[in-house]
Amino acid sequence: MKQQFWRALALSIVIFIPLTSQASRLITDQTGRQVTIPDRVDRVVVLQHQTLNLLVQMNATDKIVGVMANWKQQLGEGYARLAPELNQKAALGDLTHVDPEKLVALHPQVVFVTNYAPKAMIDTISALGIPVVAISLRHDAAGEQDKMNPTMADEEQAYDRGLREGITLIGDIVNKPQEAKALIEATDQGRKLVRERLKSIPTGQRIRAYMANPDLTTYGSGKYTGLMMAHAGAVNVAAETVKGFKTVTMEQVIAWNPQVIFVQDRYPSVVNEINASPQWQVIDAVKNHRVYLMPDYAKAWGYPMPEAMGIGELWMAKKLYPEQFRDVDMRKVANDWYQRFYRTNYQGVD
């Protein structure tokens, strides 16, 4: 049985070689690794949901031949409506592992992984002759690039610059540079309104907010979620205590006593749990009915996404300070983005 597998694997590699024998170019991924890839890339496997989302918005799903098996869990069940063709793609692996046999059978020219993918995983794929590109959507200092929770001297700069570099890199790899540029420009345009409307609110008067995830997990400092809150005029109550993505105690949340609680759209059950649970009723956000399920475009992930920065921060600011954004129709704003980048109408929550 083992001999049959390696014979099939060797045959697949032989078949794969002509795909990589064309003209090539050298790129540097976001962990600082230099990777040689073909000039024209038409077959990619995507083992990171952030990169998958970016490729969909660049209208590059026709280049995807394989996706991480749990992409619906990572992106939310409703994501399949935005890119139904993903249902037809081969499913294999996840953020930290992949099946080499299934991978080789797809003959990819590039495999996208997360920046903290295990070295053994990257080495295994590379040994098959398949280029591996790691994406972080951060601009990290040397020694921090392959970490899930890096130390950052300036979070704002690390994520702002890193998102631009990541989108540009992905767009260049799949030969979609103009689509990548359009995403970056739309992100910038959407943030200007929020900055202008909130600049007069003193730091001491900004609303205290908390991001509630399943099982009392939350995002603290060093994650995009905190920046998203700051851009929207809020203070992340977990920022001083929590670094990265961690589990906290109910006692700690009660002590923080956030005025507003946000829940990502992929975890709707958390909203029901908070509103129904007696232990949450002492918190201001619950008492004042300010527990909000976020729309799917307000992706409060550890990594930023263009729509989260471009329109998600605007949604969050409007929830926090409705008077300052009374004239903003978020459904129209979201629909414009979805028609442009997802090629469909927005149908989610407001």
Query: Domain limits of the chain?
Result: 2-175, 200-342
Q: Mind listing the pLDDT tens digit of every residue in the chain (350 residues)? A: 444 444 444 444 444 444 445 799 999 999 999 999 999 999 999 999 999 999 999 999 999 999 999 999 888 878 999 999 999 999 999 999 999 999 999 999 999 999 999 999 999 999 999 999 999 999 999 999 999 888 888 888 998 999 999 999 999 999 999 999 999 999 998 888 999 999 989 988 999 999 999 999 999 988 888 889 999 999 999 999 998 899 999 999 999 999 999 999 889 999 999 999 999 999 999 999 999 999 989 988 777 899 999 999 999 999 999 999 999 999 999 999 999 999 999 998 77
DSSP secondary structure of 71-105: HHHHH-TTHHHH-GGGGGSEE---SS---HHHHHH
Residues whose CB falls within 8 Å of the CB of residue 52, separated by 6 or more in sequence, listed in order: 46, 64, 67, 68, 71, 75, 86
Contacts 24+ apart (CB under 8 A), 82-88: 82/56, 82/338, 82/342, 82/344, 83/56, 83/342, 85/61, 86/52, 86/56, 86/61
2-175 homologous superfamily: Nitrogenase molybdenum iron protein domain (3.40.50.1980)
Task: Tell me if 2-175 shares its fold with 200-342.
Answer: yes
Residues 6+ apart with CB under 8 A from 79: 53, 71, 72, 86, 296
How many other CB atoms are there within 10 angstroms of residue 197's CB atom?
18
Q: What architecture is domain 200-342? A: 3-Layer(aba) Sandwich (3.40)
Question: Alpha helices, DSSP H only, in 238-341?
Answer: 250-256, 268-276, 284-287, 306-307, 313-320, 330-337
The Cα angle at residue 89 between residues 86 and 94, in degrees rounded to 5: 90
Q: Record the pTM.
A: 0.84
